[in-house]
Structure 1
Amino acid sequence: MKEGQQKPIAAQDAELEGLDRLQTDTRGPRNLRKTLVRVLAPLIAVLALILIWQLYVWLGGKRQDVVPGPLDVVATFAQLWDQGTLQQAVWTSLQRGLIGFVVSAVIGTALGLLLAQVRPLRTAFGPLISGLQVLPSVAWVPAAIIWFGLSDGTVYFVLLMGAIPSIINGLISGIDQVPPQFRAMGTVLGASKTELSLRIILPAALPGYLSGLKQGWAFSWRSLMAAEIIAIGGTLGFGLGSLLQRGRDLSDMGMVMAAILMILFVGIVVELAVFAPIERRLLRGRGLLPG
């Protein structure tokens, strides 16, 4: 074929199809390797930590009732499972955490949009919201017990006070990063303030909003554990924090370690099963991750 002469359309399509097939063939093994690394790396890290833990128990010379080994903790897990105590504690805490987080997300989103849109309110209440985010949630427990008694109201109040400020600040931070052209375009198209907030600003602020939600979940889970450890008795149910406190009262380090590991496990599962897929989908939809 002479220089400058175009190839037939069929030949061009065949070449493009071959390039696509080559790209797909190379992408498959690469994605498989990435998946294996993503799965195996945490498992190897956990196994390494367990090995270090067991070696410390063998070589540290500590009493077994003070520093139990991994097998001792597994035995405690099995005992608590047979008694039904572990299932009850996990279900109670997870139910409280999810309900409290959903309520926190609704309240935090509404307040965040309001503060972000009304500058005088943000100027007046912004420092207070940041201060509440820094304040340790455990500081609310004594006041909550006086106000609500030993009831679920105490736990939910502490949880809300821990999660809502983080969600508000995350949403405000995401809205601050929205280009002003988006607002101008919505105004030109005749969007009302409500439509501008819900259909333009909020979707554009999703990365920052999602970060605020993740931080809000972390704060709500920590706040829940603090409330369950301190507020025990009355009509309060038996959660993971209560299990941890029971282990301390009985000087049972196996139960203490089992409760700590279960609290950690639930937090990791919620992160990997809920927030990580949403974050990947969001970033992929914006072209920040490969499809």
Structure 2
Amino acid sequence: MPLDTRTGTASDPDHDELRRLEAGLDSLQAVPEPPRGAFRRTLDGVVPPILLLITLVAAWQAYIVIAKPRPDLIPGPFDVFGALVSAWSSERLQLAVLTSLERGGLGFLIAVAIGTPIGLLLAECRPVRRALGPLLSGLQVLPSVAWVPAAIIWFGLTDATVYFVVLMGAVPSIANGLVSGVDQIPPQLRRVGTVLGASRVQMATLVVLPAALPGYFSGLKQGWAFAWRSLMAAEIIAMGGTMGFGLGSMLQQSRELADLSGVLATILVILFVGILVELVVFAPIERRLLRRRGLMAAGLR
């Protein structure tokens, strides 16, 4: 690191603090990792959920056999599976999944593009944070389904209604997650950036944002969860017009037909898609991020 000629040796304490910080991170990253193949890691991640699923389905079927409840009130697992097969055969299931994934993915990306600069602004500008911070926290607590009636009045029964509700659900979580990550940044990093002459923009983009990645990523995960929940709420309530056929619409149609097997089948699909996105998209990125930061225990790798 070059010596700051304007301050002579005055920046040496900053250099020492940075070296100590880097040494601490290196020691964390040096935790020995037991040799585990990709197949073993896959088994460790897949087998426990499958065993739990088998246990739950077996208990469900045992209750159906022993208690013999009314099928229209408590259908058995084979009835629900039959509803899934029927929806797949008619291609309604594929259409609903693709429509909801397209809406959820696009809405989430737009929420990231909006929530990230808002979060940086709140984290770096205290007057803005004092003014907008409570409002953003309130929006995060507000159930996004409350926006559906207003969105229908403003945008009608169109996809714009769905995207608006998704944004109102996801943006506050993403912004607040970034603010939380920035608050956890060690002050030494900011001091080093100041010593090296970083401008406010450089400080935010080259120092603050990379250092806040763990908290920011947690906000992204929560933002996706809120986006998916908001999407389902909007699709259930807003039907007709130029609205496409999503999983929420499929769930509502089954409810109108008093088809509890179809309702439970759709709920399981919604749950499966949410878990799949978590395992395929977010979990690998999170493991890689935490491993690079030395924040993941060896046994969890």
Q: Secondary structure at the match of 2:253?
A: helix
Change (3 A) 1:235 1:33: closer
| C-alpha distance in 1 between matches for 2:176 and 2:242 | 34
**1:186 maps to which residue?**
193
| C-alpha distance in 2 between matches for 1:84 and 1:28 | 41
**1:27 maps to which residue?**
35
TM-superposed CA distance for 1:28, in Å, is: 4.2
Q: Secondary structure at the match of 1:185?
A: helix
Alignment match of 1:280 (pick from 282, 287, 301):
287
Q: Secondary structure at the match of 2:241?
A: coil
1:73-222 matches, within 5 Å, as 73-222=80-229
| C-alpha distance in 2 between matches for 1:134 and 1:35 | 36
Deviations 1:77-120 (A, max 9, x none): 11111111000000000000000000001100010000111100
Identity, in percent, stands at 61
Deviations 1:36-71 (A, max 9, x none): 333211111011111111112222332112211111
| C-alpha distance in 1 between matches for 2:90 and 2:42 | 38
Q: Amino acid of the residue matched to residue 75 of structure 2?
A: P
Deviations 1:159-206 (A, max 9, x none): 000000001111000000001111111122122211111111011001
TM-score by length of structure 1 reads 0.88
Q: Amino acid of the residue matched to residue 168 of structure 1?
A: A
Query: Relative contact order: is structure 1 or structure 2 higher (C-alpha 8 Å, sep ≥ 6)?
Result: 2
**1:270 maps to which residue?**
277
Change (3 A) 1:97 1:32: closer
1:44-55 matches, within 5 Å, as 44-55=51-62
Q: Secondary structure at the match of 1:27?
A: coil
| C-alpha distance in 2 between matches for 1:231 and 1:200 | 43
| C-alpha distance in 2 between matches for 1:66 and 1:95 | 33
| C-alpha distance in 2 between matches for 1:252 and 1:202 | 49
**2:244 maps to which residue?**
237
TM-superposed CA distance for 1:124, in Å, is: 0.7
Deviations 1:118-142 (A, max 9, x none): 1001001111111000000110000
TM-superposed CA distance for 1:33, in Å, is: 5.5
Equivalent pairs, count: 267
Change (3 A) 1:180 1:68: same
Change (3 A) 1:277 1:33: closer
| C-alpha distance in 2 between matches for 1:288 and 1:183 | 21
Q: Amino acid of the residue matched to residue 124 of structure 2?
A: Q
Change (3 A) 1:173 1:28: closer
**1:18 maps to which residue?**
none
| C-alpha distance in 2 between matches for 1:125 and 1:136 | 19
| C-alpha distance in 2 between matches for 1:171 and 1:276 | 18
Unmatched 5+ stretches in structure 1: 1-22
Unmatched 5+ stretches in structure 2: 1-31
Q: Secondary structure at the match of 1:236?
A: coil
Deviations 1:1-59 (A, max 9, x none): xxxxxxxxxxxxxxxxxxxxxx99x7348x86665333211111011111111112222
| C-alpha distance in 2 between matches for 1:27 and 1:207 | 25
| C-alpha distance in 1 between matches for 2:65 and 2:140 | 42
| C-alpha distance in 1 between matches for 2:176 and 2:199 | 24
**1:4 maps to which residue?**
none
**1:3 maps to which residue?**
none
| C-alpha distance in 2 between matches for 1:34 and 1:150 | 46
| 1:226 and 2:206 are equivalent in the alignment | no
TM-score by length of structure 2 reads 0.85
1:8-27 matches, within 5 Å, as 27=35
